[in-house]
């Protein structure tokens, strides 16, 4: 698949559910009604869809998102089914609440990587940001994921006045576990869209905040990755890797190779744009030629650059 700008689409971010036990301040609106289970893509439909995208359209990477993917009861089955397909990468983004319990099952099912959301290392601040007093559970989950052999990255959405003073601590924590951490610029979508200008922290400010623990940022090749990645020489000695996801200060749209499909079949060629239709009419029942028509029509709406503000709350797509 190619979009009107000539970008090859090789990466699908597939939402499994809009349910999530957390209520992160930048993600989930106060009033949010996820779709009924009967309207969600089934395990059979997910496998059929991913298989079609691989063999007809050259899909190479799949990331399972939410809401929170672990809130989907069939998560292990979905991983098992998609892991049998010829994908170069099968990953998941998670809040980490169930990782201590489930990391071994996820790895055995065929999952290769997890990105774990970690917005604070201070229990009170963590609870304020996520709505859940569960920092120790997330930390335990990170350790267990490492122990079973999953590749782990940490994700931190940086919000001025909430966690922007913790970046050094978060980077030091990640370095202590030899993990890459990615600091994510707040985007004007979801509950904080109206406060975006007041709460937004650009990459330049993040790097300045890290100056007390980082001597030097050495750029690394990023390819089509969203993160601007750096190898960091640390003041305390040693090295680590940090990424900055800079959708606002340094958009990476020109290298975008991804599409998103929501749990109820919504097709999003761009995270911040409106959905370009719904694929369910070609999935239930499965009609491959009709699906291709809908994909082509939707992809025609993928603009060269993302809009100035987002259309949907983050919980619908998992980022």
pLDDT tens column, 196-245: 999 999 999 999 999 999 999 999 977 778 899 999 999 999 999 999 99
Give all strands of the β-sheet with 258-261 in edge-to-edge order. Answer: 214-219, 227-234, 239-245, 180-185, 151-158, 113-117, 89-94, 61-65, 11-15, 258-261, 267-268
Measured distance CA(221)–CA(227) in Å, rounded:
10
Return the pLDDT at 225: 83
Report domain extents, the chain. 11-316
More confident residue, 237 or 312: 237
Measured distance CA(234)–CA(35) in Å, rounded:
46
What CATH topology corresponds to 11-316?
TIM Barrel (3.20.20)
Averaged confidence pLDDT in the chain: 94
Return the pLDDT at 35: 67
Return the pLDDT at 95: 97
* pLDDT score of 285 more than 90: yes
């Amino acid at each position: 698949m190619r979009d009107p700008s000539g970008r090859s689409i090789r990466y699908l971010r597939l939402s499994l559910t809009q349910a999530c036990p957390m209520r992160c301040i930048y993600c989930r609106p106060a009033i949010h009604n996820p779709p009924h289970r009967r309207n969600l893509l089934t395990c059979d439909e997910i496998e059929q869809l991913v298989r079609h995208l691989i063999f007809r359209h050259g899909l190479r990477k799949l990331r399972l998102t939410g809401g929170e993917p672990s809130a989907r009861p069939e998560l292990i089955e979905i991983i098992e089914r998609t892991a049998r397909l010829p994908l170069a990468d099968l990953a998941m983004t998670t809040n980490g609440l169930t990782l201590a319990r489930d990391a071994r099952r996820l790895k055995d099912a065929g999952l290769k990587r997890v990105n774990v959301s970690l917005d604070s290392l201070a229990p009170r601040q963590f609870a304020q940001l996520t709505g859940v007093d569960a920092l120790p559970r997330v930390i335990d989950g990170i350790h267990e994921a490492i122990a079973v052999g999953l590749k782990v990255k940490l994700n931190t959405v940086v919000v001025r006045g909430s966690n922007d003073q913790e970046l050094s601590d978060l980077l030091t924590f990640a370095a202590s576990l030899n993990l890459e951490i990615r600091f994510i610029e707040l985007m004007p979508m979801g509950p904080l869209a109206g406060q975006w200008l007041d709460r937004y922290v650009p990459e330049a400010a993040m790097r300045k905040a890290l100056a007390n623990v980082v001597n030097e940022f050495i750029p690394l090749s990023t390819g089509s990755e969203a993160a601007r990645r750096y190898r960091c020489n640390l003041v305390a000695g040693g090295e680590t890797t940090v990424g900055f996801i800079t959708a606002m200060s340094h958009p990476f749209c020109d290298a975008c190779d991804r599409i998103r499909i929501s749990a109820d079949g919504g097709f999003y060629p761009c995270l911040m744009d409106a959905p370009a239709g719904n694929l369910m009419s070609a999935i239930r029942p499965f009609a491959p030629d009709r699906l291709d028509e809908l994909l082509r029509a939707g992809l025609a709406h993928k603009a060269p650059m993302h809009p100035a503000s987002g259309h949907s709350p983050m919980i619908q797509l998992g980022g």
